[in-house]
Amino acid sequence: MCGIVGIFQASPLGHETRDRLLAMTQRLRHRGPDDGDVWISEESGIGLGHRRLSILDLSSAGHQPMHSASGRYVVTYNGEIYNFQSLRRELEAAGQKFRGYSDTEVLLAAVTEWGLEKAVGRFNGMFAFALWDREAHSLHLCRDRIGEKPLYYGWMGKTFLFASELKAILAHPACKTEVDRNALALYLRHNYIPTPYSIYKGIWKLPPGTVLTINARTAHTQATPVVYWSAREVVEQGTREAFAGSEDDAAVHLEALLRDAVKLRMVADVPLGAFLSGGIDSSTVVALMQAQSDCPVKTFTIGFHEAVYDEARHARAVAKHLGTDHTELHVTSAQAQAVIPRLPTLYDEPFSDSSQIPTFLISELARRHVTVALSGDGGDELFAGYNRYFWAQSIWNGIGWMPRGVRTGAAAALTSVSANTWNRGFRAVQGILPWPLRVQHPGEKLYKLAEVLCVEDDGALYGGLVSHWKAPDAVVLGGSEPVTILTDRSRWARVMDFRQQMMFLDMITYLPDDILAKVDRASMGVSLEARVPLLDHRVVEFAWRLPLSMKIRGRQGKQVLRRVLGKYVPLQLVDRPKMGFGVPIDSWLRGPLRDWAENLLDERRLEKDGFFSPRPIREKWTEHLSGRHNWQYQLWGVLMFQSWLNEHATA
């Protein structure tokens, strides 16, 4: 795992380019502490930089930027091609020669032998790379299918810049930035900035599954990324050509795919382990790791002293059953809060999924013992793990026929009682409630139900469920939300069941821009490589062929995945309501973080900064402090932007 940077312009580069590239790579040292270098062709106007975290072929034969054996291509590459060994054997049979044993050499040989498009289509991995074609004088930027690895780019005057993280682009003197207020409005809605936007005007995220090509002829134009793998096509084809076998057949096939996906991701020349929460996804990954390992797999869990947020006991039970070498750390509130000042630098742009805190802490814990950790991310989107997949459609089916006035009246009744009062009421009768009603934060969920009652259709229902600030244009001064896939329904998948539509939208928005961005920044922030077996593209494509009946039964998802896991772990160890991976931001804001938050949300400060209208923010802050409402998600979004703004204004 590494960090990459680059510079391109239509005219020759100057002698200062080397220093500028080195300054950019230095900003990414955390992504690659083991090695670094740059390569420049001044006359061609191209310079590439690299920071290396050595995982495969620890020798100098893996040094980057790397040249192809033919001399035609130069690459700076971040990621892993997991099937590099089988590709290498095929390439050797075709006459390609190799100097070392890294997957970077395989990448270059594959492009040489098959061309870029065919080569990328055969890669099984996570990657973001820049490939310079010396013969065609073209620069190609490429990102993996799902978006596990990041890549930012943009024109700054006559200079084209790209990097794994924004901080490296900002290190170049040509980079003049201005906050994109439209992207800020999107941020308030989602708690992240969706692709292709970034927090800065003129700097973009390369979409997953695409290649962007730049050359002297197309310099200064807004080149369009070309799709080489389409999630929408995978979804539509999968639902059209559904798996025809039984659920037993599906479980057998899925297990074989997952075993191989896990096996490929266990190849490393450095110590390796796994994150273990004790839920379905991470337990499946660890079970398949242990089944294919000659020694106990190293597993890592963090716990919290607040029982409602603590999953450590569940992970401990799974680890004991599987016989892993388990490490558990219970984190105090003070330890968790100590991470907060690091977040603006870690994430580079505003990002406010509060699970960023425990994700960083578990990465930090794992890095003390291993250099690579496997993660269970992706199972919720592929196998229907989020609660909204179970109840959103059934609720709409139950209320959609009612006049909207009746529904809005019912919503008003639900919100006439504060969320905290609902929570206390549910706690008082927790012991006699049926299992499906024993949910975390019932008051907040009833408030979400109230929002659902007011929507026009199931598409608006989903939009409301994934929105934090419902009307961000009214909060961001001078900002107006640009069109995204959430608002442009012409880009939605053609599927029959709206639950599949929600899963599709989550897979191409929330998964890459929130979940995977969170894992990448947290893990790479401590020089740890995180690998995600459930997002092997073969697993993704097979998952979309499975009918919903093999995923959802009643109010429980992941049916076929449970069947696979049940061969290795008694399901009673993992069967429980979904907890998420959170921290008690709501109570922290009323307690130990109150002064910090009050300073950032001060009305005069908000007016001076000039990005937000103070009134709606102050209203929510007052209501939150009083306990009448829990506005933790909306307030955390504002606080993370204010904290980011403060950090970057003084940088």
Q: How far, in whole angstroms, is CA 84 from its chain's centroid?
A: 24
- Residue of 2, 142, 175, 454 with catalytic role: 2
Q: Take residue 627 and report the two structure tokens written for it.
A: 């306990």
Verify cis geometry, omega within 30 degrees of 0, for the bond prior to 194.
no
Give the DSSP letter of residue 511.
I
Q: Which residues contact 254 (CB under 8 A, 6 or more apart)?
A: 539, 542, 543, 546, 560, 561, 564
State how far the Cα of 162 lies from the Cα of 317, in Å rounded to an integer.
Answer: 45
On whether the CB atoms of residues 302 and 365 are closer than 8 A, the answer is yes
Q: Which residues pair with 49 in a beta bridge?
A: 5, 38
State how far the Cα of 410 lies from the Cα of 272, in Å rounded to an integer.
Answer: 53
What strands, in cross-sheet order, belong to the sheet with 204-205?
A: 35-41, 46-52, 2-8, 159-163, 152-156, 204-205
- Where do runs of H (alpha helix) occur along 351-486? 356-367, 379-383, 387-399, 404-415, 419-428, 442-453, 458-465
Query: Residue 5 — φ and ψ, nearest 5°?
Result: -145, 165
Give the DSSP letter of residue 212.
E
Helix (H) / strand (E) element for 125: namely strand 125-133
Q: Take residue 339 and report the two structure tokens written for it.
A: 């991470």
State how far the Cα of 46 lies from the Cα of 25, in Å rounded to an integer.
Answer: 15
Q: Which residues pair with 66 in a beta bridge?
A: 75
Measured between its terminal Cα atoms, the distance across the chain in Å is 27
On whether the CB atoms of residues 612 and 639 are closer than 8 A, the answer is no
State how far the Cα of 167 lies from the Cα of 36, in Å rounded to an integer.
Answer: 17
State how far the Cα of 243 lies from the Cα of 259, in Å rounded to an integer.
Answer: 19
Q: Hey, is 26 helix, strand or coil? A: helix
On whether the CB atoms of residues 164 and 4 are closer than 8 A, the answer is yes
The DSSP string of 593-613 is THHHHHHHT-HHHHHHH-SB-
Verify cis geometry, omega within 30 degrees of 0, for the bond prior to 350.
no
Helix (H) / strand (E) element for 561: namely helix 559-565
Q: Is 454 a catalytic residue?
A: no
State how far the Cα of 237 lies from the Cα of 504, in Å rounded to an integer.
Answer: 13
What strands, in cross-sheet order, belong to the sheet with 325-331?
A: 325-331, 298-304, 272-275, 372-374, 529-531
Query: Residue 224 — φ and ψ, nearest 5°?
Result: -100, 130
User: Which sequence positions are flagged as catalytic?
Assistant: 2
